[in-house]
Structure 1
Amino acid sequence: MSHRRPTVKGALSFSNPTVRAWLFQIIAVATIVAIAVWLIHNTITNLNHRGITSGFAFLDRSAGFGIVQHLIDYEQGDTYGLVFIVGLLNTLLVSALCIVFASFIGFFLGLARLSDNWLLRKLSTIYIETFRNIPPLLQIFFWYFAVLRNLPGPRQAVSAFDLLFLSNRGLYIPSPQSGEGLLAFVGAVVVAIAITGWLYRRHKAHQMATGQLRRTWPVAIALLVGLPLLTHAVFGAAIHWELPELRGFNFRGGMVLIPELAALTIALSVYTSAFIAEIIRAGIQAVPYGQHEAARSLGLPNPVTLRQVIIPQAMRVIIPPLTSQYLNIVKNSSLAAAIGYPDMVSLFAGTVLNQTGQAIETIAITMSVYLLISLTISLLMNIYNRRIALIER
């Protein structure tokens, strides 16, 4: 039986699936490019008609407004570029605090839901089902308007040993100031950590070789306490403390945790910890029960079983969804604009945009920063996930 080869005309005809696939892709790409060109041209034309100059030269102009919280030196006459850095640092601060607090609370609640104690198990269930089903913005409003803003004024502030002062202006705490022995103190801490790490590896190798357990923590505590004390006695104090004092209608000196930061940190930590608790519980329950029975047959106590056997295996299940919750914390921190916390959205995509009219530039910078933060967190969590992953040989 003879086979006829397709002719060139048939191979290039519209009935050929490969030809149709390429044609549709070319049309789709051309359409997207045409729309993008039209949008860019239309935007530039509208900006020119309104007399709005494009570009990032506005970052060198003076901002002319104050910021209630700034982790670096900032004055009203500083530039919009410095405003961007202040907003970025404030966003990173609240994100880092929420990630730490939500992780600790969520881990405890996840274990509590698996506890044999009936009361502890039910209380953790009520906590999780309550706070994860209330929108985070409403929780922020609750902590800010219903709790923190109703605290007494500075003159009636709640005091703790005349060191800490809590009022509706915030929590004022002593501020550390560098002393003459700071470098020596830092060097002593670094040396203590390095010796502790070396000793831990030696003891771990000895345990793997002989089965004998050598504890590192007594020596570690002695080094971390003794060496800094020695430098303090020889070189002087590493830090001095500036205490807050009531002057007039507010406190001066020290550090302040403003109500906006406190409300945002509490609300996002409580909200996200409920989701993290369920992730922890699911990860532990994903470990086969035979692992529990094997550890029990070896006579391992429950805390040791959980720490050395169950948790390391559960982390392989926990890390991917935990990464998503950390990303949600960073993105939900943009809700700070609702209560006036000076983060990236409130400062740069709000105040700076209104003053300069550079909507495209400010929004693009803000979106790029959030994207970069999220990609960095994903990268770090993926690196850790690969380190703990099982490798088939």
Structure 2
Amino acid sequence: MTMATPEPVRRMRPRSWLTRERLVGLAWQIVVVGIAIAIVAWLWSNALHNLSVRRISTGFAFLGREAGMPIADAWIAYSPKNTYLRAFIVGVANTLRVAVIGIVLATVLGTIIGIARLSSNWLLSRLAAVYVEVLRDLPLLLQLLFWYVLMQGLPAARAAWMPVEGVYLSNRGLILPSIPLQEANLWVIAMAAIGLIASWLLNRRLVALHLADGRPRRLWPWALVLIVGLPALLSWILGASWTITLPELRGFNFVGGVTLSPEYFALLVALVTYTSAFIAEIVRSGIQAVHIGQWDAAMALGLRRMFVLRHIVLPQALRVIIPPMTSQYLNLTKNSSLAVAVGYQDIVSIANTTLNQTGQAIEAIALIMAVFLTISLGISLFMNWYNARIALVER
């Protein structure tokens, strides 16, 4: 009896990654990248040739020359005898002043309007809906010009409106009381900021304990000590002065206090109101994305409606809200470049003046692009980090 010879086992050879299709795709990618590099090199060479023919020097050496341009609204010490580099720094500070304050105010106002749209009060929800629809449908530049013309139509300084003691509103801008800040004051403010962070962390801990055993715990005594008590004690030890300086009318203008120029105030109001309308819709849709059963279960446990909104619904809605909210923050930052329409001297306005004075067009435009790219990337990185931090973690 003969035994059947078993067939030899065929070994499967690993498939090579370098297939014909991949080689063709890689070749096309190399060709496209090469063409793009060639186009950029040609444009750069052509620009250098044209600049050389017109005897225009290239490079950033002009930043060390005297600027000679006045900047009316500067929170950083500046004079026309400073360099162009100093002028650009002032422009970046002015842009950040609009972007940061605008993002904070637009977020607060947009959240309030978005929650108001879901209110059971018919009049409140309709007013919020009208606010959103009107401001979203009007061009931002038109709104900016409206607020600027409105500021210019206010009475002169001698007949300024005074809605609150020490606060004046005129065609000179919004004038507010101020507190001169010294080193001791800055230490006290830093202590208060640390107290706010500690109170936020403590609040998270107390909420977790409340959800675990059902016993509510008061935050305000601890927050009062951390935010008010410790800074007040440090202020007494350092001898910090908190004297409020009230603006006074002298001649045709105000002396003392803090003045928000008409250009800055109009730009800030336009950006905040316009962006808050979009943020309101994002907040509304985010809250509605949370299942209604979350509300029913929380109300069945006897929790207050505001507590449910703050600690149950909004934390879940943030996972829907944060990505589109990031886009609105970026839009607000980039829309601040419309400041040139009302004469507010941000980085774009100062770069345009520098371009006209020096002829360094490529360098000026490159600086504008670098500033907005840096700010936008910073906002995106922070919001992406926050979005990843609040994301649901699968177990």
Q: What TM-score, normalized to structure 1?
A: 0.89
Correspondence for 1:44: 48
Give yes or no for contact 1:99–1:269 (8 Å, CA) kept in 2.
Answer: yes
Correspondence for 1:273: 276
SS, match of residue 27 in structure 1: helix
Sort the Cα spacing of 1:383 and 1:195 in 2 relative to 1 into closer, same or farther, 3 A.
Answer: closer
Sort the Cα spacing of 1:305 and 1:136 in 2 relative to 1 into closer, same or farther, 3 A.
Answer: same
SS, match of residue 168 in structure 2: strand
- Give the root-mean-square deviation of aligned CA atoms: 2.4
Correspondence for 1:4: none
After TM superposition, give the deviation of residue 173 of structure 1 in Å.
2.0
Q: What TM-score, normalized to structure 2?
A: 0.88
Map 1:43-192 to 2 at 5 A: 43-145=47-149, 147-159=150-162, 163-178=166-181, 181-182=184-185, 185-186=188-189, 189=192, 192=195
Correspondence for 1:377: 379
Mean CA deviation greater in 62-71 or 198-207: 198-207
Mean CA deviation greater in 168-177 or 190-199: 190-199
Asked if residue 354 in structure 1 is aligned to residue 351 in structure 2, the reply is: no
Correspondence for 2:13: none
* Number of positions where the alignment pairs a residue of Structure 1 with one of Structure 2: 377
Sort the Cα spacing of 1:157 and 1:208 in 2 relative to 1 into closer, same or farther, 3 A.
Answer: closer
Sort the Cα spacing of 1:162 and 1:216 in 2 relative to 1 into closer, same or farther, 3 A.
Answer: closer
Correspondence for 1:10: none
What is the alpha-carbon distance in structure 2 between the residues aligned to residue 343 and residue 27 of structure 1? 41
SS, match of residue 251 in structure 1: strand
SS, match of residue 256 in structure 1: strand
What is the alpha-carbon distance in structure 1 between the residues aligned to residue 219 and residue 44 of structure 2? 63
Sort the Cα spacing of 1:213 and 1:324 in 2 relative to 1 into closer, same or farther, 3 A.
Answer: same
Give yes or no for contact 1:110–1:281 (8 Å, CA) kept in 2.
Answer: yes
After TM superposition, give the deviation of residue 364 of structure 1 in Å.
0.5
The amino acid across from 1:60 in the alignment is G
Correspondence for 2:17: none
Mean CA deviation greater in 171-180 or 45-54: 171-180
The amino acid across from 1:218 in the alignment is P
Give yes or no for contact 1:181–1:239 (8 Å, CA) kept in 2.
Answer: no
Map 1:309-388 to 2 at 5 A: 309-348=312-351, 350-388=352-390
Contiguous gaps of at least 5 residues in structure 1: 1-15
Give yes or no for contact 1:106–1:273 (8 Å, CA) kept in 2.
Answer: yes
The amino acid across from 1:189 in the alignment is A
What is the alpha-carbon distance in structure 1 between the residues aligned to residue 197 and residue 28 of structure 2? 61
What is the alpha-carbon distance in structure 2 between the residues aligned to residue 202 and residue 288 of structure 1? 25
After TM superposition, give the deviation of residue 259 of structure 1 in Å.
0.6
SS, match of residue 169 in structure 2: strand
Mean CA deviation greater in 337-346 or 19-28: 19-28
